[in-house]
């Protein structure tokens, strides 16, 4: 990951990151990018096989990044306290993205407003805040809010599955089923869980 933003012409220095250059940040970054995050997510698709149609048409940031943030949530209880603090702060960052991105697009707030939230409320460095605001407005509008939206959809789906199955709910089987579906949009993932996984678990069938 880059640790600086190159200076504009005529400026003597660069903006430096200090947001993920310490040990405590490694916990949540590893959970998100490696296991049980994206590396496991895509490894599972290779292992189980995904139809060509899903590869081409079902890829969506809501599922991909939602699983990444959900993975941070899963690992947080096992982190040391300093790791948990950073994990919560990065979750706050994703929550901020969820409203800053669309409000910038709609003209309800200015970039200065977004900088204030990211730097003063989320406590990001100016370099990281600048990258975030550029991401919302120029480079990938609409992508950054997919993290928290996808995460909340997965949390809600898990809660409803636990209610439906009661003591028959098995976390590992639930996660294996989610990953085996590939990158389905949230509504189709819910449909698969409620119409396939839940009835099969109630009947004691192996999945």
Print the SS3 string covering 105-129.
Answer: HHCCCCHHHHHHHHHHHCCCCHHHH
18 contact partners, CB below 8 Å, separation of at least 6: 125
Q: Over the chain, what is the mean pLDDT?
A: 90
Residue 8 tokens read as: 């504009």
pTM over 0.85: yes
Better-predicted residue by pLDDT, 13 or 30: 30
Tens of pLDDT, residues 99-133 = 999 999 999 999 999 999 999 999 999 889 988 99
Tens of pLDDT, residues 42-91 = 888 888 777 777 766 667 889 999 999 999 999 999 999 999 999 999 99
DSSP 8: P
Cα 67 from Cα 32, distance rounded (Å): 8
Burial level of 38, CB count in 10 A (0-12/13-18/19+)?
Answer: middle
Q: What is the pLDDT of residue 46?
A: 80
Burial level of 63, CB count in 10 A (0-12/13-18/19+)?
Answer: buried
């Amino acid at each position: 990951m880059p640790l600086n933003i190159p200076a504009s012409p005529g400026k003597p220095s660069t903006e430096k990151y200090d947001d993920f250059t310490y040990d405590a940040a490694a916990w949540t970054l590893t959970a998100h990018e490696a296991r049980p995050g994206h590396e496991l997510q895509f490894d599972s698709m290779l292992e189980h096989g995904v139809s060509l149609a899903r590869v081409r048409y079902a890829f969506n940031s809501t599922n991909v990044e939602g699983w990444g943030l959900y993975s941070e949530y899963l690992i947080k209880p096992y982190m040391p306290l300093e790791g948990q603090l950073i994990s919560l702060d990065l979750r706050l960052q994703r929550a901020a993205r969820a409203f800053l991105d669309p409000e910038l697009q709609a003209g309800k707030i200015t970039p200065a407003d977004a900088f204030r939230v990211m730097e003063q409320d989320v406590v990001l460095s100016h370099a990281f805040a600048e990258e975030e605001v550029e991401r919302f407005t120029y480079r990938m509008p609409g992508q950054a809010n997919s993290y928290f939206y996808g995460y909340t959809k997965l949390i809600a789906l898990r809660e409803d599955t636990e209610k439906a199955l009661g003591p028959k709910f098995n976390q590992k089987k639930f996660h294996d089923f989610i990953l085996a579906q590939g990158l389905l949009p949230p509504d189709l993932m819910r449909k698969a869980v409620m119409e396939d996984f839940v009835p099969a678990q109630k009947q004691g069938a192996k999945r």
